Structure 1
Amino acid sequence: MTTDSTRRSPLVRLRSDGAVDEATLAYARTKVDAVLTRPGLPAVTGEVRIARAAVHHAGHPWSATADVRVGGRQIVAMAEEATGTELVDRLQDRLRRQTDKAAHTWDDGHGTTAPPWRGGALQDGVSR
């Protein structure tokens, strides 16, 4: 069974495979939104998929994959855990770490210019 929860944020889809309960999906939506809707981040689009294995003998039956674009940079984060809340917390940590890197290296006019000895402009706008 695959469900699609796009109620609050149509730019980042939250999908589930298997027997994922609504409480885990709501918790995941809250945590993912907390990371991806922070002020200062460029436009964010993509998909987060949470799956629960049908076999009971699996060591980590919960798995998640996030494939999002922050500005022009693609971020992929994966996690496997024994419970749904542990999974969502681990995924949130990994997404936060990678979105911090993406926001720090965001290149939309926010970068520095090259120094004059590397072909950049001088103070008056003329390069040599």
Structure 2
Amino acid sequence: MTVHEAAGSSVRVRADGDVGEKDLAHVRAKVEAALARPGLGEVSGEVRVARAAAHHAGQPWSAGAEIRVGKHAVLVRAEEATAHELADRLADRLRVQAERVAHRAGTARRSAGPPPWRGGEADARAAEKVPPREV
């Protein structure tokens, strides 16, 4: 098992099984690029990359990511035939989930204004003092 931690980030990338340094570096670069979106807040967590020992496995490369973006948890899983495909799929899924978290924080639930009978929009129109129409 190999553990790498990116210099500017607190996301660790772990490798289990027969994972080369070149493949691990590619996955690490893709993960960092996917989570480098401005406005995300504090990002921390772990990505686990594994390669199956069985040669007959259809998709021997797998990855799982458990990332905290601010106060939200982002969980992503991917399986592919090659390390580069795995890195691309993992980065795409992380990017989509990070976008959801960013938009969720920006669009917090807001209550609607009060109804007219409680001083809502009707009071605003009454304050304008619109003259009555002549018949």
Structure 1 residue identity aligned to 2:86: L
**What percent of counterpart residues are identical?**
49
Give 1:75 deviation, angstroms: 0.7
3-state SS of 2:37 partner: coil
Structure 1 residue identity aligned to 2:108: G
1:30 aligns with 2:26: no
CA distance in 2, matches of 1:52, 1:112: 42
Structure 1 partner of 2:104:
105
Structure number, greater radius of gyration: 2
CA distance in 1, matches of 2:59, 2:109: 44
TM-score (norm 1): 0.83
CA distance in 1, matches of 2:97, 2:9: 21
Q: Report the count of equivalent residues.
A: 116
3-state SS of 1:93 partner: helix
Give 1:116 deviation, angstroms: 3.2
TM-score (norm 2): 0.79
CA distance in 2, matches of 1:22, 1:98: 27
Please report the RMSD computed on the Cα atoms of aligned residues, expressed in angstroms: 1.8
1:47 aligns with 2:75: no
Greater fraction of residues in helix: 2
CA contact (8 A) 2:76 2:94 kept: yes
CA distance in 1, matches of 2:93, 2:75: 9
Deviant stretches of 4+, over 6 Å: none
Structure 1 partner of 2:72:
73
1:117 aligns with 2:114: yes
CA contact (8 A) 1:71 1:106 kept: no
CA distance in 2, matches of 1:3, 1:21: 10
